Amino acid sequence: MLSSRILRWAVLTLVVTNANNLRAESDIDERVIFGWIEWVAVEPSMIPAKAKLDTGAKTSSLHAKNIEWFEKDGKDWVRFQFSPNTKLSSKRMLEGKTKNFVTIEAPVYRSTLIKQHKRASAERPVILHKFMLDGREYEAEFTLTDRSRFIYPVLLGRRFLEKTAIVDPAHTYLRTQPPPPKKEAREKQTAPAASKDDRATSTDSPKPDEKQSTATAAGKSVTP
């Protein structure tokens, strides 16, 4: 009797363990392997920025300058400037001496208290914000903070990574590539300009015969 109970317990334990392992393997299969640094595009302007994928941080963080709280429709909102260059000063942004930033407004999802060494704790707004990574759109909780002391303007923490990514700490940019230089991007977006001869040809008046053939083709009667 005792041996049969032990056997049933052992079989049940084995079944549960295998089921958990299968779920874990399924979760892993759904995640993508990224380098510890990847390129992202921050919405709504799709401004490209480097992101650090940090399993040591719980919450993601977004570089924010000139944070302003305001009320909209009875709810707390924030307005701030985001730049992919963390060394860009607030003064240059406010004085309009640079265009390498974007102003973002978003509702406050929650707020958090950040402990600071030898200083009083600071309240930081947390927003839900969308971004593109490896051609897919994601939304994550971001704590807004001045990341001037850091290299990377975007930090993706465990709350985002746990169901999305496996981080390879030995490599960078496994799934993403840097954006093309601005000059090259402009050339791709701009159609080639017509040459002087082409412009002259397009503005020349058609000959009488050409007028007649054109009108006829349009189904109109032409008087000789």
Any domain includes 87: yes
Rounded distance between C-alpha atoms, residue 31 and residue 199, angstroms: 54
104 belongs to a structural domain: yes
Q: Is residue 173 part of a domain?
A: yes
Task: Compute the average pLDDT of residues 15-31.
Answer: 51
Average pLDDT over residues 73-79: 96
**Mean pLDDT (whole number) for 118-127:** 86
Domain assignment of residue 162, yes or no? yes
Q: Is the residue at 216 inside a domain? A: no
Mean pLDDT for all residues in the chain: 79
Segments forming the whole domain that contains residue 162: 29-184
Asked whether residue 20 is domain-assigned, the answer is no
Alpha-carbon separation of residue 140 from 79, 102, 179 (angstroms): 18, 19, 22
Q: pLDDT band at 96, cuts 50/70/90?
A: confident
221 within a domain of the structure (yes/no): no
What total of structural domains would you count in the chain? 1
Share of the chain above pLDDT 70, in %: 67
Domain of 86, CATH number, reads 2.40.70.10
